[in-house]
Amino acid sequence: MGKPLSTLVFLLLFINCVYSWKKDEFRNCNQTPFCKRARSRKPGSCSLIAADVSISDGDLVAKLIPKESSQENPAKPLVLTISAYQDGVMRLKIDEDQTLAPPRKKRFEVPDVIVPEFLNKKLWLQRLKEERIEGGLVISSVVYLSEGYEGVIRHDPFEVFVRESGENGKKVLSLNSNGLFDFEQLKENKEDNEDWEEKFRTHTDKRPYGPQSISFDVSFYDADFPTKGPGVDDSEPYRLFNLDVFEYAHDSPFGLYGSVPFMTSHGKSRGSSGFFWLNAAEMQIDVFSPGWNNEYSSVLMLPTDQKRVDTLWMSEAGVVDAFFFIGPKPKDVVRQYTSVTGTSALPQSFAIAYHQCRWNYRDEEDVYNVDAKFDEHDIPYDVLWLDIEHTDGKRYFTWDKMLFPNPEEMQNKLAAKGRRMVTIVDPHIKRDESYYIHKEASEKGYYVKDSSGKDFDGWCWSGSSSYIDMVNPEIRSWWAEKFSYENYVGSTPSLYIWNDMNEPSVFNGPEVSMPRDALHHGDVEHRELHNAYGYYFHMATAEGLVKRNDGKDRPFVLSRAFFPGSQRYGAVWTGDNSADWDHLRVSVPMTLTLGLTGISFSGADIGGFFGNPDTELLVRWYQLGAYYPFFRGHAHHDTKRREPWLFGERNTELMREAIHIRYMLLPYFYTLFREANATGIPVIRPLWMEFPSDEKTFSNDEAFMVGNGLLVQGIYTQRAKHVSVYLPGDESWYDMKSGSAYKGRAIHKLEALEDSIPSFQRAGTIIPRKDRFRRSSTQMEYDPYTLVIALNSSKSAEGELYVDDGKTFEFQQGSYIHRRFTFSNGRLTSSNAGPATAGDHKYVSECTVERIILLGLSTQPKTALIEPENRKVDITWGPLLLRGGPGPSVLTIRKPNVRIADDWTIQIL
């Protein structure tokens, strides 16, 4: 969508004028029976009513039965359960009644996504209040959810909603208000004339269990966002179905590599709310434009005093397991969502620095050359990647012996400079009897089966291949063992992993994926868990990297496919994008959207994977990409080489400068990654997350916040002369390079500079940096810090710094330094923001602060006094040292040399 959804938060991807995208290979809604069926239903057509509503085991339970179920033909009821959890989360489950006749098949509920701690947050519902509404005709049952909010089930017709407390409380979120709920129960047998098979192109899906889809409408209240439907083809819903789409479009609602069925809405008056459906089958979601249901308004009795956005959710299989998040602030919604699915893992510190990738660095010599060139050109980087060609015939965990005869030596040489390597490991396993992985997997029966019960055999990079059944924990554990140093010959502790093609991609399968009637462990059909397949593969791989070091070191695994919870296992990227300005532009809403779904550690391939970026585009991409949480350059093997030194001296300088900015900001980024780990709040954020009541931010997805302190505006057009930036809020902003101040709540038309994209520090914040340049982040470990203080109108500011060993899990025992810096009344104070004592596990650091820059000071102090040492230090007054144009004079405190681990204050006099 052109203006994607700050509101709609699942991954959306995008086309306009990309012709190579083979649209016909993929199903549209009309070719997808459950989608077509759900969309043909009329509002108000659901005839289910809630009966036997009661409290049982701390939950509200009810039966859903058809209003007119005849005696001769009694319909099977559905069972509904509502539970409340701490911090404003309501969960709704609806499934078939398992206590009736033994079910033919248990419908699939996705395991391993909800974190165990969430279940401990359950509130024990005790009281059910009955209300008669609409003139006493309609009964509803009400339960307490959290301070100020109630969960309500209206009985006839059934509707579930969250409202502000009290009979006339405003609605926040509701389900089935438009009466579109539909649940196809599994049937014992085909009815006459019923054909369960589905055909698409040359593929037949046997559908042995027949139709089993679920659909319902969800309404979001008081949402202000301009909800715009899909961009290109307005007739298509958003499709959540993990697919390997070759040369994807930048502006289309079709499915891509990952799916997170979570939507958030935001409005100025009330704030934010969110809805999440835990379901791994194919899903389609419609967002209706206002007035879509006008002709049904008499049947529906919808409240007219509240603005509303209606949506329709449709899934091919599974159960209803839905979560309502009350908000009311945007950050509350992410916090609530990640309390269910987990916050992101804290990466090792090298992983948030710059990664250099290409399909393929050909051989060891190529690797050594590229590595040396980075040094020669004074460009830092941390990780060099090897794509599929490094293997022996696409047999993962092996090396091409001609091209990479000494992989350990190669890794060790790079490790000596503090650098790491990454190799690719995909889920398709070459069916070759002499390949040990295949041999073991086939002997142990660890492959996904086809509908006839044989090992599923599909075509991928490795030719005829089978796919490990990662849904089975035993198999995951076997897989994890493959990463031990003994098993993965040629691997060393500085080698990390990349999981690609895990949607899964099957070149000759329906829609380039696995047939839906393929079978997994426990007789689960692939259709039921398709969207979670890549998630399990990512999980198993991350477990492998943890195990190989006896659980000491944090893993690093990049995955292309993702699902709710992927944030716990590593990074994801936006897949195979293209070298054009539209893809540069769309990389921002894509990474922001991922962040809103808890997947903070993401980025787009710098330069675009397909095609050759012109130099200007590549430079602009580095300038923007330096702020992606995951920062990697990558390219297709048919593209020209594009390492940063290949475009002439001036362009090398520009790309070096962009990468340097990222390295300077690493302490700030790492602090933000820890915040994401502790709270779920993403590293980069849409402006409205920081400024939820400033309407001008609501549809702005060209600019974004890095943490709460930096605003970055991309430049998305060629030869741009000017760039307009909206700076939100009432306080000022300081240009990161010049230190010049700009007014808030205003659009500024700036000259587009060649050497950087606009970035501003928000008044009232303090940002920690490390300004000395090294070859890799590892070599910066002991470097001193720079603190940049941007004063607000009350001449105050605050900020944080989080530091740990950057490598192990020790931080979970309190082994870290977490400081809070506050500046007010001319005094900077550093105090502990972490645990009071960490006992034996205390992390120690001798690092000091070498420079403090104060932006926005109107007086000219003479000196600075450090307490408790009572030591005076020099200050200077002059333009910012950071390369850039002329700017105002700012105050710099030189060499205060205070240790970051200590408490101290610095008073300017």
Ligand X SMILES: *[C@@H]1O[C@H](CO)[C@@H](O)[C@H](O)[C@H]1NC(C)=O
Residues that bind ligand X (CB under 6 A): 343, 345-346, 554, 677-678, 731, 764, 792-794, 796-798
Residues 6+ apart with CB under 8 A from 449: 455, 456, 518, 519, 520
Cβ pair 692, 271 in contact under 8 A: yes
C-alpha distances (whole Å) from 872 to each of 428, 742, 785, 905 are: 65, 32, 19, 12
Tell me which amino acid residue 167 is: E
Taking the complex as a whole, the smallest distance from the CB of residue 848 to ligand X amounts, in Å, to 24
Comparison of 279 and 343: residue with beta carbon closer to ligand X: 343
Minimum CB distance to ligand X, residue 793 (Å): 5
What is the distance between the alpha carbons of residues 312 and 735, in angstroms, rounded to a whole number?
44
- Reduced to 3 states (helix: H, G, I; strand: E, B; else coil), residue 117 is helix
Q: Where do we find the tokens 């830092």?
A: 380
Taking the complex as a whole, how short is the minimal distance between the CB of residue 598 and ligand X, in angstroms? 11
Q: How far is the CB of 868 from ligand X (least distance, A)?
A: 23
Q: Which is nearer to ligand X, 566 or 587 (CB)?
A: 566
**In whole angstroms, what is the distance from residue 13 CA to residue 572 CA?**
15
How many whole angstroms separate alpha carbon 857 and alpha carbon 893? 13
**Quick check: 557 and 541 in contact, CB under 8 A?**
yes
Residue in 500, 653, 657, 800 annotated catalytic: 500
**CA atoms of 724 and 695, how far apart (whole Å):** 17
Q: How far, CA to CA in Å, does 42 sit from each of 32, 176, 296?
A: 18, 12, 8
Q: What is the smallest separation between the CB atom of 794 and ligand X, expressed in angstroms?
A: 4
C-alpha–C-alpha distance, residues 616 and 632, integer Å: 18
CB of 810 to ligand X, least distance (A): 11
Choice between 726 and 802, CB closer to ligand X: 802
Question: Is the Cβ–Cβ distance between 470 and 111 less than 8 Å?
Answer: no
Give the C-alpha distances (Å, rounded to integers) separating 211 from 103, 197, 214, 264, 530. 15, 10, 10, 30, 17
Distance, CA of 467 to CA of 449 (rounded, Å): 9
Of the pair 546, 658, the CB lying nearest ligand X is at 546
Nearer to ligand X, 822 or 907 (CB): 822
Distance CA 340, CA 261 (A): 13
- Name the token pair of 806: 């950057």
Q: Which is nearer to ligand X, 10 or 760 (CB)?
A: 760
Q: Yes or no: say if 596 and 680 are a contact pair by the CB < 8 Å rule.
A: no
Provide the greatest CA pair distance for the chain: 94
Q: How far is the CB of 844 from ligand X (least distance, A)?
A: 21
| DSSP type of residue 606 | B
What's the per-residue H, E or C state across 811-878? HHHCCCEEEEEEEECCEEEEEECCCCCCHHHCCCCCCEEEEEEEECCCCCCCCEEEECCCEEECEEEE
Distance between CA atoms of 174 and 159, rounded to whole angstroms?
A: 7
Quote the least distance from Cβ 887 to ligand X, whole Å: 22
Min dist. Cβ of residue 289 to ligand X (A): 38
**Is 576 one of the catalytic residues?**
yes
Q: Report the 10 Å Cβ neighbour count for 860.
A: 10
**Which is nearer to ligand X, 635 or 767 (by Cβ)?**
767
CA 315 to CA 690: how far, in whole Å?
Answer: 33
Cα distance between residue 180 and residue 38, in whole Å: 8
φ, ψ of residue 218 in degrees (nearest 5): -130, 135
Question: In the complex with ligand X, which residue's Cβ is closer, 133 or 678?
Answer: 678
The catalytic position among 224, 387, 576, 657 is: 576
Nearest-approach distance from CB 776 to ligand X, in angstroms: 21
Contacts of 410 (CB under 8 A, 6+ apart): 364, 367, 368, 404, 421
Q: Residue 283: helix, strand or coil by DSSP?
A: strand
Instruction: Give the list of residues 6+ apart from residue 356 with CB closer than 8 angstroms, or none.
Output: 370, 374, 381, 383, 384, 385, 632, 633, 643
Question: Which is the catalytic residue, given 426, 503, 694, 850?
Answer: 503
Query: Angle at Cα 356 formed by Cα 355 and Cα 358, nearest 5°?
Result: 135
Closest approach of ligand X to the CB of residue 796, in Å: 4
Nearer to ligand X, 629 or 764 (CB): 764
First CA to last CA distance, the chain = 54
Least distance (Å) between residue 346 CB and ligand X: 4
Cα distance between residue 709 and residue 765, in whole Å: 6
> Which residue's CB is nearer to ligand X, number 231 or number 598?
598
Instruction: Assess whether 109 carries a catalytic annotation.
Output: no
Query: In degrees to the nearest 10, what's the CA dihedral of 352, 356, 362, 368?
Result: -90
For ligand X, the closer CB: 799 or 884: 799
Yes or no: say if 43 and 180 are a contact pair by the CB < 8 Å rule: yes
Strand order in the sheet with 458-460: 428-430, 463-467, 458-460
Decide whether 513 or 792 has the Cβ nearer to ligand X: 792
CB of 828 to ligand X, least distance (A): 12
Nearer to ligand X, 598 or 608 (CB): 598
Active site residues: 500, 503, 576
